[in-house]
A and B are shown apart, each in its own frame.
Chain A
């Protein structure tokens, strides 16, 4: 994927796609920037899978620990956007 022109919203959409892939029960959920993956039912393994799938989609090689401080999906998208 070409990542140079991606906006934070685009990355958020990628995260949402992978969240729905890992957590099928969220198919109909209207995701917001303020959503917490933890509050949506993702356990630590689910969260690491969603983050890794997103990093792979972005071809972004950064340590997982760097994204651990994101409190919600919007912060995660913003953080990843800053590392592109």
Chain B
């Protein structure tokens, strides 16, 4: 039995690692200040070995400068941990501490890792390094090339025994993980579930392919990387990659009693009575819809479907939403389609900004990073600016452009879409007092 209202799902912990900041405070401060780290990417394995015609510019993106690893993570574990796994461990540690999970039965804790083909850069590096001496390939490559290695390494370090799987939904993976975690808790499979939007570690191979496909930003801003990422601006020409990882802890609202006046949470699971702050937000409604279409082209029908279904599950009319955090990649067709979907669903009244304009497109992590950005903006009572939004594609929306805006978000909508025709949307409702 899970109390009188098992369907209500709340977020009780957050962990975040991005190029503009590691940890909740650093991240939200950087968001609200409109900071960015867009530059020529320098992480080994992200540079073309040689340009085909000798003129191609290097890839632009936003990389994490210095990942701080908690002292409690065993160093022996880190030796052969991939970059994606290291980011997952550091990010999950913050969410775990924030939610105070130390007293929860490990058999009742789950982990959903959002993302697939996460560790491409290390695969390419190994293939290049060992192509002439394959006999000496490290045996642990057999473990670390699999995405499920993140499940293994995280579940071992944190003692998670209830559930540990990956879910793949291309750029919607992070939000898909949040939805699957909410479903796992709502169904009673586990009492607590951590959803992690994993760091997708692109190599130059994927960057080249994304660019050739027309999805990734071109060489247009090669000499001005700070201008390249411009979702919803008339001069956008593709997404700009950004390293990121985010994690949230979800559980049934009925397992968490809290007094919004005193902002105190009492954890009722397993009789533990740990005190913490009240939940960040309620995941009030969510939806997934597929376009039956393998291609990367967005679908107005698919996007309007998930918006309407998520609102219906939340029991909300469109005018109840006062803030939209869109997918907003900066791609040519994606931005147009998304604005058309928001308008068709009556959401052009709500404030809107684009988190990717600051941190880039985290691909598998993106949807999770944006869910977290929503909740931290709710807590701050401010909306972050949208960099490079100089000429909005549609001036009829309530854009947060160059400057942050004071706004108490009560109910927000978050969108995520991915290659292969996946559309997701999540409605969040404030729990925590300002």
Contacts and interface: CB of A to CB of B under 8 A. Distances in A.
A52 B139 contact: yes
Interface residues of B, number: 12
A25 B79 CA distance: 12
A45 B143 contact: yes
Interface string A44-71: 0100110011011000010010000000
Contacts of A24: 75-76, 79
Contacts of A25: 76
B139 A55 contact: no
A38 to B, nearest CB: 15
Nearest to A46: B76
A53 B141 CA distance: 13
Nearest to A26: B76
Nearest to B75: A24
A45 B139 contact: yes
Contacts of B137: 52
B136 A45 contact: no
A29 to B, nearest CB: 14
Contacts of A45: 139-140, 143
Q: Interface residues of A: mostly helix, strand, loop or mixed?
A: helix
A58 to B, nearest CB: 10
Interface string B121-149: 00000000000010111111001000000
Contacts of B187: none
A23 B76 CA distance: 6
A61 B80 CA distance: 22
A76 to B, nearest CB: 16
Contacts of B133: 56
B80 A49 contact: yes
Contacts of B143: 45
Contacts of B140: 45, 49
B76 A22 contact: yes
Interface in A1-33: 21-25
A46 to B, nearest CB: 8
A24 B77 CA distance: 10
A64 B142 CA distance: 15
B136 A52 contact: yes
A21 B140 CA distance: 14
Nearest to B77: A24
A22 B135 CA distance: 19
A22 B63 CA distance: 28
Given A22-B76, A24-B79, A61-B135, 6 more contacts: A21-B79, A22-B79, A45-B143, A49-B139, A52-B138, A52-B139
Interface of A: 21-25, 45, 48-49, 52-53, 55-56, 61, 64
26 contacts: A22-B76, A22-B79, A23-B76, A24-B75, A24-B76, A24-B79, A25-B76, A45-B139, A45-B140, A45-B143, A48-B139, A49-B80, A49-B138, A49-B139, A49-B140, A52-B136, A52-B137, A52-B138, A52-B139, A55-B135, A55-B136, A56-B133, A56-B136, A61-B135, A61-B136, A64-B139
- Identify the 6 closest CB pairs spanning chains A and B, nearest first: A56-B136, A48-B139, A61-B135, A24-B75, A24-B76, A52-B139
